[in-house]
């Protein structure tokens, strides 16, 4: 399965204006915007130890990750964007393009982006859009309009394999 994945920095997101009220509530760091994404998160938590670890690490961090179905720039299947930072929290947005993708593929893509969110949580110096860009430029390599890291690519393959094994 060959996928073009990238961390994209979206320019049109301000604070939480683009985040639905449903996704704003909740105690988990990963906040789906609709029931379809809730199903993907539940699928990942149930069927992938790696997905559970990513989720648990985010829950222990100062990062909140909103997740929505939409399209990413450059036609990549998933992307991560900086949203905002407050006194004790940094907010990110994961966008998943669900068109033509299986639930397992979407769950692996979500895991990929959660790895990037964990990379943000592990880098306290990321506090705004510019530091977000600079950090990923140093963590990985330029890919289209965004950046990519080797660890996120590994996570995608690992979670896909775990989901495949659990589905048998």
Look up the CATH number of the domain holding residue 146.
3.40.390
Residue, of 24 and 38, whose pLDDT is higher: 38
Please give the Cα distance from 51 to 158 (Å, whole number).
Answer: 9
**Which position has the higher pLDDT, 94 or 20?**
94
As a whole number, mean pLDDT of residues 126-140 equals: 88
pTM: 0.84
Examine the pLDDT at 20 and tell me if it is beyond 50.
no
pLDDT at 1 > cutoff 90? no
Q: Is residue 38, in this structure, part of any structural domain at all?
A: yes
Listed in order, strand segments (DSSP E) in 19-77 are: 30-32, 63-69
Number of Cβ within 10 Å of residue 49's Cβ equals 12
For residue 68, give its domain range: 21-167
Total structural domains in the chain? 1
Residue 13, domain member (yes or no): no
In a domain, 80, yes or no: yes
150 belongs to a structural domain: yes
Which band of pLDDT confidence, cut at 50, 70 and 90, is reported for residue 15?
A: very low
C-alpha dihedral, 57 to 64 to 98 to 133, nearest 10°: -90
Q: Are residues 33 and 67 in contact, defined by beta-carbon separation less than 8 angstroms?
A: yes
Q: What is the mean pLDDT of residues 130-142?
A: 82
């Amino acid at each position: 399965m060959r996928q073009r994945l990238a961390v994209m920095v979206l320019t049109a997101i301000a604070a939480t204006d683009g985040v639905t009220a449903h996704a704003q509530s909740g105690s988990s760091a990963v906040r789906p915007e609709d029931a379809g994404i809730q199903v993907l998160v539940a699928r990942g938590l149930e069927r992938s130890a790696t997905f559970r670890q990513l989720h648990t690490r985010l829950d222990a961090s100062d990062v909140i990750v909103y997740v929505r179905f939409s399209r990413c720039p450059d036609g990549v299947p998933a992307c991560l964007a900086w949203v905002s930072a407050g006194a004790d929290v940094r907010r990110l947005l994961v966008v998943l393009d669900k068109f033509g993708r299986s639930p397992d593929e979407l769950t692996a893509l979500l895991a990929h982006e959660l790895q990037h969110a964990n990379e943000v949580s592990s880098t306290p110096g990321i506090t705004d859009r510019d530091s977000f860009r600079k950090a990923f430029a140093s963590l990985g390599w330029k890919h289209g309009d965004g950046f990519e890291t080797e660890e996120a690519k590994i996570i995608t393959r690992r979670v896909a394999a775990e989901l495949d094994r659990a589905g048998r």
